Structure 1
C-alpha cells in the first residue's frame, strides 16, 4: 500500500510573529473584559454579602476624593479647581470596581499620568513624591486588586506591564524629580495582582470542583438506579419464573395426572403450557437486556406481525370474542414497525381482557399510502362479568405512544360513544419503489368467536 508524501511542515513561528501575536492578545485582553458586568459577590447567599462590594467602593470614593484634593492643594500647591478635577478623575471611577474594574482602569490610568504631568509645572519640594502621589498609589492598588479578582491572567499581565512602562517613561522624562514611587507601584502592583489572581483562580477551581461533584453525584444516582432496576428485575424473574414454571409443569403433566380428560381439555392444557413457556422466554430475554446491555437478549428473535394471530387466538381462549383482519400483502415492514405493531396489539388485547371482559374486539392491520395502520376496537364490556381491574396506571398507553413516536408515526386512543374503546396506530413504511413484496404471515384473515 503506497502513501502519498506528507506536505511540507508549517513554517516555524519566529520571534517577531510570536511577539506580534502576544501583543495582539494583550491588547484584546485590555480592551475586552473577560467577565460579564455582574457585581462582585453577586451569587452570595446573604443580602449583606451582596451589598458589601458597593459599600466598600462608596467608602473608597468618599475617602480618596477629599484626601486627594487636600494632598494636591496643601503639598503640591495646585489650585482648588485643578485639584478637584484630578481627584474626581483619579478616585471617582473606583465606584466601578464592583462590576467593571477594567473600565475603571481605562479612566484612572490616564488620569494618574495626566496628574503626574501637571505636577511637573510646580516647583519640586523636599518631601514631594513623584510621579505617583500617595493617594494615587493606594487607590491604584485597590484598582489592581479588583482587576486581579475579575480578569484573566493575560489582562492582569497587560495592566501590570503598562503600569510599569508608564512609570519608566515618566522617570525618563524627569529623572531628577523621580524618587522611586514608579518602582514602588510596579512592585506592590505585582504583589497585589498575584494575590487577586490566586484568589480568583482558587474560587474558579472550587466552582469547577463543585460542578464535577454534582456531575459525579448524578452519575452515582443513575448507576444506583440501574443497579436497583437490575436487582428488581432479577427478583421479579425469580418470583414470577418460579410460578410460571409450576404452571408449565402442571399444564404439561395434567393429562397424565388426571384421567378422563376430554380432547378439548387436553388442548387447553397444552395451550396454557405453551403460553407459559413463551412468557418465560420473553422474561429471560428482557432480564438479559437489563443484565448485559442487551448483548444476549437482542440476539433473540423478536415477535412481529406474523405472531399477531397467536395473540388473537389466546385472547379468544381467554373468553374475549376477537376477530383479526390482516392484509394479504403488507410489503416490506421495517423491524421496528413490525415489533411495535405486535406490542401495540398485545397491549390493547391485554387491556380488553383486564378492563372489558367479554367485549367483542376487532383487530385490523392494513398497509397503504406509505403507512402501516393498526386498529384495535372493542365494544362495551359484558355486564355479567366483572373486570379484573377497575382502574389502570396508564403505563400501557404511554408505552404504545412511545413505540409509535420512535417509529415516526402517530397514535390515537380514546373511548367510543357506545362505551367501547379504540386504539389506532399509524406508522410509516419505506417507499414502494425501494421495497420488495413479501408473503403475508398467516396468509388469510381469520374470524374467531368464543
Structure 2
C-alpha cells in the first residue's frame, strides 16, 4: 500500500521558457537554476564583446568609413543589446534606429561598391539575437509588428541604395521572421506547459478538498445512524418509565416526559439533517453500520479476492470497542480501507491485521495493518474504492481523539497504525 499523494512536475522547460510575469522581469527569471537565469546576459555580453570590435574594424577597413563614424555606429548598434533580457522593445528601437542611420551613412562610404548593404553581417547577427529575446517574451501581435516594421524600414532605405552593392534587406527580413517564429513557438510551449501545470495543481487541490468534504459527510451520516439508535433508546426508556416504575412521584414523571420530548425533538432534527446529508436518497446507507464484529467477514472476503491476510483480534477488543459505537465503526472502516488500499497498490502482498485492547491508563483500541511487498503489478481501478484512503482514516481518527501513524516500511511494504481511545479527554471549555 502507498500514500495517495501526488506531486507536480519537476521544474524544467516550463520554468525556463515561461513569459516573464512583469514588464521589467529578466528573461528566464523563473528558471530553477542560477546558470539558466544568467544565460541571456552571458550570451549577450559575449555577443557585444565580439560584435563591437568587429563592426568598427569592418566599417573602417572594408567600407572605408571614417574612424569616428565607425566607432559611433559600432557602439550604437551593439551596446543596446544588453537591454534585451529586461527591455527588449527599447533595445529593438535603439538598434533599429542605429542600423538605419548606419545604412544611410554607408551610402557615402569610400568603398561601398561590392559590399553588403543596407545591413552588414554584424548588424544581421546582432539583430537576430535581439529577435530571439523578443520572441521569448513578447506577444504574437507585437512580434508581427516588429517583423513588419523591419520589412518597411528595409523597403524605405532601398530608395537610397547605391550602385554595385549586395542588398541584404530580404535576407534579414526572412531570417528575422524565422527567428521570431521559432522563439515564439518555444515561448508558447513553455507558457502552455505552465498553464497545464497550474490547472493540474488547482484540480488536485479541488479534488483533495472535495474528497475531504465527501469523507466528512460520509462520517456524519454514519454517526447519525449510531447516535440515532441511542436517542431512540432514550426516548423509549423515558416514555416507558412511568409504566415500569409506577411508584414515582409526579415531578419525576414530568421530568421523564420532558426527557422523552427533548429526545424525540432531537431525533427529528437529526433525521432532517440526514435528509440533507444523504441528498441522493441512497438506500444502501440506511443499513446498520458495521463494527469490529464484522472484521472476520471482511478478512475472509479479502482472502477470497486473492490477498493472503492474517487476522489477530481479541474478543476483549471487540467488546471494548462495541461499547463505544464511534470507535467500533472507525476501527472497522480503518481496517476496511487499509485492506482495500493493499488490494489496489500491493496486490498479493502478505498482510497482517491486528486489533487489540490496551487496558492501561489510556484504555485504547489499537488497530495495526501491515503489508509486505507487492507480488504483482498494482491494480488501477476506474471506479471509487471503499473510501478515500488515508484522508478518510485521518478524519475518523481525529473524530475519536486518537492518533494515526502511516508510512512505508524498509522492505517495500506499508504500515497503518491507529490508536482509538475509548475515553477521550474532555475538551477544555472556552
Q: TM-score range by the shorter chain?
A: 0.5 to 0.7
Q: Which residue of 1 aligns with 2:265?
A: 278
Superposition deviation, residue 232 in structure 1: 1.6
Structure 1 residues 240 and 179: CA distance shift in structure 2, 3 A? same
Deviates most, 240-249 or 164-173: 164-173
CA contact (8 A) 1:34 1:152 kept: no
Unpaired stretches in structure 1, ≥5 consecutive residues:
1-32, 294-388, 395-450
Which whole-Å CA distance do the structure 1 matches of 2:211 and 2:204 have between them?
10
Superposition deviation, residue 90 in structure 1: 0.2
1:392 aligns with 2:424: no
Q: Which residue of 1 aligns with 2:55?
A: 68
* TM-score normalised by length of structure 2: 0.58
CA contact (8 A) 1:124 1:177 kept: no
The 5 A counterparts of 1:138-217 are 138-174=125-161, 176-217=163-204
Q: Which residue of 1 aligns with 2:222?
A: 235
Q: Which residue of 2 aligns with 1:248?
A: 235
CA contact (8 A) 1:171 1:178 kept: no
Superposition deviation, residue 64 in structure 1: 1.1
Which whole-Å CA distance do the structure 2 matches of 1:35 and 1:182 have between them?
34
CA contact (8 A) 2:113 2:165 kept: no
Provide Cα deviations, 1:100-156, integer angstroms capped at 9, x if missing partner.
010001100010011111111124456411110000001101111111111111111
The 5 A counterparts of 1:23-102 are 36-102=23-89
Superposition deviation, residue 263 in structure 1: 2.6
Which whole-Å CA distance do the structure 2 matches of 1:60 and 1:281 have between them?
81
2:253 aligned to which of 247, 266, 272: 266
Structure 1 residues 125 and 152: CA distance shift in structure 2, 3 A? same
Equivalent position SS for 2:241 = helix
Equivalent position SS for 1:38 = coil
Superposition deviation, residue 35 in structure 1: 5.2
CA contact (8 A) 1:34 1:151 kept: no
Structure 1 residues 393 and 120: CA distance shift in structure 2, 3 A? farther
Equivalent position SS for 1:44 = coil
Provide Cα deviations, 1:25-60, integer angstroms capped at 9, x if missing partner.
xxxxxxxx9951110111222222222222222112
Equivalent position SS for 1:98 = coil
Structure 1 residues 244 and 126: CA distance shift in structure 2, 3 A? same
Q: Which residue of 2 aligns with 1:134?
A: 121
- The one of the two structures with greater contact order (alpha-carbon pairs below 8 A, sep at least 6) is 2
Which whole-Å CA distance do the structure 2 matches of 1:38 and 1:203 have between them?
16
CA contact (8 A) 2:64 2:111 kept: no
Q: Which residue of 2 aligns with 1:380?
A: none
Equivalent position SS for 1:223 = helix
Which whole-Å CA distance do the structure 1 matches of 2:200 and 2:163 have between them?
59
The count of aligned residue pairs is: 268
CA RMSD of aligned residues (A): 2.4
Equivalent position SS for 2:29 = coil
Structure 1 residues 225 and 391: CA distance shift in structure 2, 3 A? closer
Structure 1 residues 393 and 210: CA distance shift in structure 2, 3 A? farther
1:218 aligns with 2:205: yes
Provide Cα deviations, 1:275-297, integer angstroms capped at 9, x if missing partner.
1111112222333334449xxxx
* TM-score normalised by length of structure 1: 0.56
CA contact (8 A) 1:130 1:177 kept: no
Equivalent position SS for 1:150 = coil
Unpaired stretches in structure 2, ≥5 consecutive residues:
1-19, 281-424
Which whole-Å CA distance do the structure 2 matches of 1:161 and 1:138 have between them?
19
The 5 A counterparts of 1:255-404 are 255-292=242-279, 391-392=427-428, 394=430
